Structure 1
Amino acid sequence: MSATTTIAPFSNAVVRAMRRLYPQALADSSWDNTGLLLEAPFVPSRRLSNTVLLTIDLTKAVADEAIAQQSSIIVAYHPIIFRGLKSLTLANSQQQTLLRLASHGISVYSPHTAVDAAPGGLGDWLADIVTGTKTNSVVADIDMETSSGGENASDDDNPFVEKKQTLDSPGFTLHNHPSQASLRLTKSPSPISSPIPHTRRPVVPQSPEIATHPGAGMGRVVTFNEPQSLPSLLDRIGKGMHNPKGFPIAIPQNTSIKDLSIKSIGICAGSGGSLLGNLDVDLLFTGEMSHHEALAAIEKGQVVISLFHSNSERGFLSEVLREQLEVTVDEEWVKLRKEESGNETFKEALEDDEFEVIVSEVDRDPYGIVVLKAD
């Protein structure tokens, strides 16, 4: 009789934790592909570390990182598999990544729109930013030799911008939004500012509602009790996103930023055009919208703020998901170790009660911002 092929016990604990935090029933199954996308077999003689690596996108660089760290499982927000596969070959770069991870015993779980819809998930995280509710729970974890600090520090010393890459012309520098692993949690988070009185609701409420996750749904609509100046909102977004070099904004023609006030905001992480396009709100806040979607919005008198697709999502990993997983995986790991205590195959793996949840250091949006420096 052949031995049963199964996933590593620690990876199983992570999967159970993710399903508790973000049930797959919350995801938009009409197009999304969430859940355990790669279930790597457990090999007792090849022990991996009890480490889960968090990333937005599962790229070759992230796979290299996971392999180097001997991670047991990757939680990749974006699914690396969206459609059915007729083959798995090395000729396809994404399939090559999956095959490499499987050969190293590393599994992959993707929650995607389940995280968007969940109460306290990505939609609420972005809503917290614009309402000043978000806590300032991260600080720069900087090697002092790489930053001069002090009152006269220039933009080049900004701790929230990765080291610049010099292009062909010395007059240009390329700045990418930082991987959130360059930030570390503080012990005592404090509000960025006093929360602005408001109400919020999903754009599309979850139906049927899930008892464990009341109030879930795709997107968020924030309505302030009193109109907010656009400059104040931009300041909150800049601080909440850890001072990026810049992000696109579209405003109606014949208006200026300083003269605009905002009473209501439609919010969607990632690509928000289809979800937010028909909303009657003053501002659309998302990761990206197409040229024509943004043009249609400003023609209606709306403002559009886009952060670049994954920059609207990445900070959630270190500020929310990492801590959630540390607590929930701990509970599931204790349960699973008791349930499998008599399993000789898992005996050595179950003896290790320590684990770590880390955020990728190499994950980043494909787009950066080129900054022209004056001669």
Structure 2
Amino acid sequence: MNSVLLTVDLTKAVVDEAIDRNDSIVIAYHPIIFRGLKSLTLKDTQQQSLLRLAAEGISVYSPHTAVDCARGGLGDWLADIVTGTPADPQELEDVPEDGEMSPTKRSPTKQNPADSEFPFPGDQKRPSYMLQHHPSQMSLKDKAIKLNNHQHDRYPIQATKVPGYPGAGMGRIVRLSKPVPLTDIIDRIGLGLGNPRGFPIAIPQGKQASDMMISSIGICAGSGGHLFSEMEKAGEEVDLLFTGELSHHEALAAIEKGKCVVCLFHSNTERGFLHGVLKKQLEVTIKEEWERIRNEERNKAGVSDEFMDHLDDEHVEVQVSEVDRDPYGIMISKAAL
């Protein structure tokens, strides 16, 4: 098929899915090969997956760092969630070409007060989040990511050194124009990332989550320890670290400095981007590219009847894996429900 399968991790289950679907290519956010290989063997599960896909003629492409760095990419998507701003690269204002870490300003959008459910007044019960491993199965309404929008500045933690891409780089720093309760930000994260039943947070000892007000946020998809360390070395201080995972000692160091930490497990900060942003972008781009190729190839001499049949097929498809998931979930006692 002229089809693409999107996944965060290229596991055996995803390989089975791609082969069953007869996809043309798997776009796996995480590279399955991290270091050079001197051999390929069926004894290694990851290499076995690669050999099976090769035998079926299915290609694999891993865009990890490019997606992280891109303006309007994964970093901006997470920043959109914590600020309550819908992800749309066209909304990003122009920033200088000088490579400086210049902030991109986002203005609050108007909403109908009747559409807002947060913050909860009085004794009203807070939401019970259900763990959903696959965000493509959720139906988000606009109100879920437009709650209490605040004007803010944002910029990369590490700006890209590649010329011609202002505003791109690793991670994001968000500076809100007004402090926001930590509990409000947790609501936005839960609604924007699949309504997990719960996720780890860390706050300074002697404090409650309801006590904390947040004016600035450091954001890194996946594992944020190294990037947050570089952020501090650059003199950038924030109130909240938002990432997929931090080590025990990194989290301890953060709360000792008065910071809060929100972790969602590594790939839960990444998977929703595939369905919410990348799938839609690829559907448009691939259709345009396939139409261009079909027109060019038809005009070439010596095109076989079989190849012409392929060119007559205008169908293209982009799907998000239904079996891809983070290895960690949360088990909760029935007595606690």
Give yes or no for TM over 0.5: yes
Q: Using the TM superposition, give the Cα deviation of residue 272 of structure 1 relative to its aligned residue in structure 2, in angstroms.
A: 0.4
Q: Using the TM superposition, give the Cα deviation of residue 267 of structure 1 relative to its aligned residue in structure 2, in angstroms.
A: 0.2
- Unmatched runs of 5 consecutive residues or more in structure 2: 89-126
**What residue number does 2:160 align with?**
206
TM-score by length of 1: 0.73
CA distance in 2, matches of 1:322, 1:178: 18
1:230/1:262 contact within 8 Å kept: yes
- Give the partner amino acid of 2:49: T
User: Residue by residue, what CA displacement relative to the aligned partner does 1:65-113 show, whole Å, maximum 9, x if unpaired?
Assistant: 0001111110110001111110111011001001101111111011001
Q: Using the TM superposition, give the Cα deviation of residue 287 of structure 1 relative to its aligned residue in structure 2, in angstroms.
A: 0.6
- Give the partner amino acid of 1:232: D
Structure 1 residues 96 and 318: alpha-carbon distance in aligned structure 2, compared to 1, 3 A threshold:
same
Matches within 5 A, 1:123-138: 123-134=75-86
**What residue number does 1:249 align with?**
201
Instruction: Give the number of aligned pairs.
Output: 289
**What residue number does 1:280 align with?**
237
SS at 2:218's partner residue?
strand
CA distance in 2, matches of 1:298, 1:204: 23
- Give the partner amino acid of 1:316: F
Of 147, 150, 160, the residue aligned with 1:196 is 150
**What residue number does 2:262 align with?**
305
**What residue number does 1:237 align with?**
189
Say yes or no: does 1:179 pair with 2:140: no
Q: Using the TM superposition, give the Cα deviation of residue 180 of structure 1 relative to its aligned residue in structure 2, in angstroms.
A: 2.7
1:135/1:190 contact within 8 Å kept: no
The 10-residue stretch of structure 1 (270-279 or 54-63) with the greater mean CA deviation from structure 2: 270-279
2:69/2:168 contact within 8 Å kept: yes
Q: Using the TM superposition, give the Cα deviation of residue 268 of structure 1 relative to its aligned residue in structure 2, in angstroms.
A: 0.4
**What residue number does 1:327 align with?**
284
SS at 1:84's partner residue?
coil
Say yes or no: does 1:258 pair with 2:210: yes
2:198/2:330 contact within 8 Å kept: yes
Q: Runs of at least 4 residues of structure 1 off by over 6 A?
A: none
CA distance in 2, matches of 1:272, 1:109: 23
Matches within 5 A, 1:1-375: 49-134=1-86, 161=131, 177-183=132-138, 191-210=145-164, 213-277=165-229, 278=232, 279-341=236-298, 342=300, 343-344=303-304, 346-374=307-335
- Give the partner amino acid of 1:204: Q
- Give the partner amino acid of 2:135: Q
The 10-residue stretch of structure 1 (68-77 or 276-285) with the greater mean CA deviation from structure 2: 276-285
Q: Using the TM superposition, give the Cα deviation of residue 243 of structure 1 relative to its aligned residue in structure 2, in angstroms.
A: 1.2
CA distance in 2, matches of 1:79, 1:107: 13
Q: What value does the CA root-mean-square deviation take over the aligned residues? A: 2.1
CA distance in 1, matches of 2:140, 2:256: 42
CA distance in 2, matches of 1:99, 1:189: 45
Q: Using the TM superposition, give the Cα deviation of residue 193 of structure 1 relative to its aligned residue in structure 2, in angstroms.
A: 2.0
Q: Using the TM superposition, give the Cα deviation of residue 317 of structure 1 relative to its aligned residue in structure 2, in angstroms.
A: 0.7
1:326/1:357 contact within 8 Å kept: yes
**What residue number does 1:171 align with?**
none
1:249/1:305 contact within 8 Å kept: yes
The 10-residue stretch of structure 1 (302-311 or 235-244) with the greater mean CA deviation from structure 2: 235-244
1:273/1:290 contact within 8 Å kept: yes
2:85/2:146 contact within 8 Å kept: yes
- Unmatched runs of 5 consecutive residues or more in structure 1: 1-48, 137-153, 162-176
**What residue number does 2:98 align with?**
none
CA distance in 2, matches of 1:75, 1:365: 17
- Give the partner amino acid of 2:195: N
User: Residue by residue, what CA displacement relative to the aligned partner does 1:16-72 show, whole Å, maximum 9, x if unpaired?
Assistant: xxxxxxxxxxxxxxxxxxxxxxxxxxxxxxxxx111000000000000000011111
Q: Using the TM superposition, give the Cα deviation of residue 339 of structure 1 relative to its aligned residue in structure 2, in angstroms.
A: 2.8
The 10-residue stretch of structure 1 (345-354 or 266-275) with the greater mean CA deviation from structure 2: 345-354
Q: Using the TM superposition, give the Cα deviation of residue 332 of structure 1 relative to its aligned residue in structure 2, in angstroms.
A: 1.1
Q: Using the TM superposition, give the Cα deviation of residue 370 of structure 1 relative to its aligned residue in structure 2, in angstroms.
A: 1.1
